């Protein structure tokens, strides 16, 4: 036997309950009252009866026998009634499939928001380095009716879904699935089973059975019921052959009778009526001990997960801080290495300049000595010429002229010697300045080298990301009875928070609707789309009525 993709072996003596319990134990499911085993029979469906043998029922006889493990009854408020994570996940998968297959009508703006929560439930928090454009190309996220209704490419739809997806950062998978269900449960066709019926006059109608009661619809309008019978206003439901009778609690109200097509459909309607009515009454009574224990365990598990998530977030934050500190140290080290390299180059240039100036000063000093020696030789020659002067006037004149030339030459040599001496003195000063620059460069290099030896600040014991042990305080949960006044205040606080969330949701949906409205193709609207738009304009749409009420408040 194949159930929900799993294969089971069972005894021919097993009853439906035996097989159902086996499936529930395999899935770890305790909230079994919502679910059942469904199978196809001719042109309709039926649910496996718990008190009869499996093979005595009208299940398909071919091997393997295929049954579908599905939600048979829906909660009025998913957040309050669904306790186990597995229960919530199964409802999320079933509701998502019904919306994508258009068994539940969903307006376009709500479809985009639901798709963003479905993406978050699958991929977790948005990461731009991982979730790059095109990562949703192979995902089925929107009903085909919505895609065909607008002149928008797949990239445009992905862009809008991703814009909503980014805002869900910080939620867990379970929280994203619950947000999905909270939005979906306000859709008009959520949790409604439809059956074709006829009234006394032979008019074709639709009967809707859901968690709140019975509803009568026009065949072409499954969104807005013509009339409704809440479970708390129904006194009795009975059928005889193909005729159904609904007796209201108020005896002044007329009894409603209708006919269905087949006896098998009548049995299915009665099963759904009994099951939904029982759950309706059960919700309004004090929870059983089993449910109370499940809710207590669920609260403890959520608290444990919250503490664990906070611990992981803290470790992640410390790891990121350590990585940032490491990157800063690496950046600082590179900067110091660059500064040291530049200082070394400056020192090398200073040493080369000092050597060059010292060489020039030595050459200038040698030239000055040579000029001084030549000047002394010229002076000696002049004295010798004066002592050995020629007697004749011509010789004296020539001698005087030569003496004059020698004096001029000596004067020039003296000037040149003085200039060379000044130049040598200037070169000595330049050499001294170069050596002083070299000394400063060495001093700066020493300072930079001393700065490069950096000792990182000691991190606290709880800031090490991986190899440190964390001390954990023991968590204890003490659930005590509180007085009615405190309970009322908490309920009032939850109402205010729910109103604020609903108001934000309404603004988000209106913004999405405004963004894509200009691309809408009116000629592709289905009759349900037109009815939905009319209901929205008239304020009768159940999906928006609660949100509008909250916004008004």
Give the model confidence (pLDDT) of 254-267 as tens digits: 888 888 877 788 88
Give the model confidence (pLDDT) of 120-134 as tens digits: 999 988 988 888 888
Rounded CA gap, 371 and 12, in Å? 132
Lowest mean pLDDT across 241-250, 278-287, 353-362, 366-375: 241-250
Q: Is 267 annotated in some ligand binding site?
A: yes
The per-residue pLDDT for 242 is 75
Residue 483 has pLDDT above 50, yes or no: no
Rounded CA gap, 455 and 453, in Å? 7
- Name the H helices within 289-392: 289-387
| Residue closest to 108 by CA, chosen among 503, 498, 536 | 536
Q: Is 50 annotated in some ligand binding site?
A: yes
- 411-416 contact pairs (CB < 8 A, 24+): 413/371, 413/374, 413/375, 413/378, 414/375, 416/371
Distinct helix (H) and strand (E) counts, the chain? 13, 12
- Name the H helices within 28-135: 78-81, 85-100, 108-123
Lowest mean pLDDT across 134-138, 270-274, 445-449: 445-449
The per-residue pLDDT for 194 is 94
Return the higher-pLDDT residue of 505 and 178: 178
Tokens at residue 82, please? Answer: 């669904």
- Cα 452 from chain centre: 40
The per-residue pLDDT for 464 is 39
What distances in angstroms separate CA 444 from CA 339, 340, 362, 447, one per listed residue? 10, 9, 30, 5
Dihedral sign from CA coordinates of 225, 229, 232, 237: negative
pLDDT band at 284 (very low <50, low <70, confident <90, very high): confident
Rounded CA gap, 17 and 507, in Å? 47
pLDDT band at 223 (very low <50, low <70, confident <90, very high): very high
Rounded CA gap, 82 and 75, in Å? 8
Say whether the peptide bond before residue 64 is cis (omega within 30 degrees of 0): yes
Average pLDDT for the chain: 81
Dihedral sign from CA coordinates of 484, 486, 488, 494: negative
Give the model confidence (pLDDT) of 327-378 as tens digits: 999 999 999 999 999 999 999 998 899 889 888 888 988 888 898 888 888 8
| Residue closest to 198 by CA, chosen among 272, 260, 247, 150 | 260
Longest dimension (CA), the chain: 175
The per-residue pLDDT for 277 is 93
Q: Would the pTM count as exceeding 0.85? A: no
The per-residue pLDDT for 95 is 96
What string of DSSP letters covers 434-469? HHHHHHHHHHHHHHHHHHHS--PPPPPGGG-SSS--
Q: Is 49 annotated in some ligand binding site?
A: yes
Dihedral sign from CA coordinates of 172, 174, 180, 185: negative
Give the model confidence (pLDDT) of 159-214 as tens digits: 999 999 999 988 889 999 999 999 999 999 999 999 999 888 888 999 999 999 99
Phi-psi region of 4 (alpha: psi -120 to 50; beta: other; left: phi over 0): left
Residue 395 has pLDDT above 70, yes or no: no
Q: Is 369 annotated in some ligand binding site?
A: no
Q: Is 42 annotated in some ligand binding site?
A: no
pLDDT band at 390 (very low <50, low <70, confident <90, very high): low
């Amino acid at each position: 036997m194949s159930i929900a993709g799993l294969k089971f072996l069972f005894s021919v003596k097993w009853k439906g309950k035996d097989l159902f319990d086996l499936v529930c134990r395999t899935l770890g499911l305790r909230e079994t009252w919502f679910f059942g085993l469904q199978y196809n029979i001719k042109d309709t469906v039926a649910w496996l009866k718990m008190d009869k043998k499996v093979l005595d029922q009208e299940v398909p006889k071919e091997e393997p026998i295929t049954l579908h493990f599905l939600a048979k009854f829906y909660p009025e408020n998913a957040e309050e009634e669904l306790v186990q994570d597995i229960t919530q996940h199964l409802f999320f998968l079933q509701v998502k499939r019904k919306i994508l297959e258009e068994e539940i009508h969903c307006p376009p703006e709500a479809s985009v928001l639901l798709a963003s929560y479905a993406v978050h439930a699958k991929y977790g928090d948005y990461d731009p380095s991982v979730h790059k454009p095109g990562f949703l190309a192979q995902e089925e996220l929107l009903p085909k009716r919505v895609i065909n209704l607008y002149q928008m490419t797949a990239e445009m739809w992905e862009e809008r879904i991703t814009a909503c997806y980014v805002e869900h950062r910080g939620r867990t998978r379970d929280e994203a699935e619950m947000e999905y269900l909270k939005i979906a449960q306000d859709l008009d066709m959520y949790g409604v089973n439809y059956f074709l019926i006829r009234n006394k006059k032979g008019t074709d109608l639709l009967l809707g059975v859901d968690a709140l009661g019975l509803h009568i619809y026009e065949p072409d309008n499954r969104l807005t019921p013509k009339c409704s019978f809440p479970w708390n206003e129904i006194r009795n439901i009975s059928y005889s052959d193909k005729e159904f009778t609904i007796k209201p609690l108020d005896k002044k109200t007329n009894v409603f009778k209708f006919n269905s097509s087949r006896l098998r459909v009548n049995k299915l309607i009665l099963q759904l009526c009994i099951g939904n009515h029982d759950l309706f009454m059960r919700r309004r009574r004090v929870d059983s001990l089993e449910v109370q224990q499940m809710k207590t365990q669920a609260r403890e598990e959520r608290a444990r997960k919250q503490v664990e998530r906070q611990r992981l977030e803290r470790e992640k934050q410390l790891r990121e801080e350590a990585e940032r500190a490491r990157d800063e140290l690496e950046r600082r080290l590179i900067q110091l290495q660059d500064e040291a390299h530049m200082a070394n180059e400056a020192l090398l240039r200073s040493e080369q300049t000092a050597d060059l100036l010292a060489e020039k000063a030595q050459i200038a000093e040698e030239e000055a000595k040579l000029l001084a020696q030549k000047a002394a030789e010229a002076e000696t020659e002049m004295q010798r010429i004066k002592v050995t002067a020629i007697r004749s006037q011509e010789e004296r004149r020539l001698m005087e002229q030569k003496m004059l030339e020698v004096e001029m030459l000596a004067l020039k040599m003296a000037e040149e010697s003085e200039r060379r001496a000044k130049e040598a003195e200037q070169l000595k000063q330049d050499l001294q300045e170069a050596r002083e620059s070299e000394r400063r460069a060495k001093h700066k290099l020493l300072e930079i080298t001393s700065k490069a030896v950096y000792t990182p600040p000691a991190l606290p014991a709880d800031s090490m990301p991986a190899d440190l042990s964390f001390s954990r305080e023991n968590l204890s949960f003490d659930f005590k009875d509180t007085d009615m006044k405190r309970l009322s205040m908490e309920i009032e606080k939850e109402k205010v928070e729910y109103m604020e969330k609903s108001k934000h949701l309404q603004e988000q949906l209106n913004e999405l609707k405004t963004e894509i409205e200009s691309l809408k193709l009116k000629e592709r609207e289905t009759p349900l789309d037109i009815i939905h738009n009319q209901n929205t304009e008239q304020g009768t749409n159940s999906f928006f009525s609660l949100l509008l009420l909250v916004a008004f408040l």
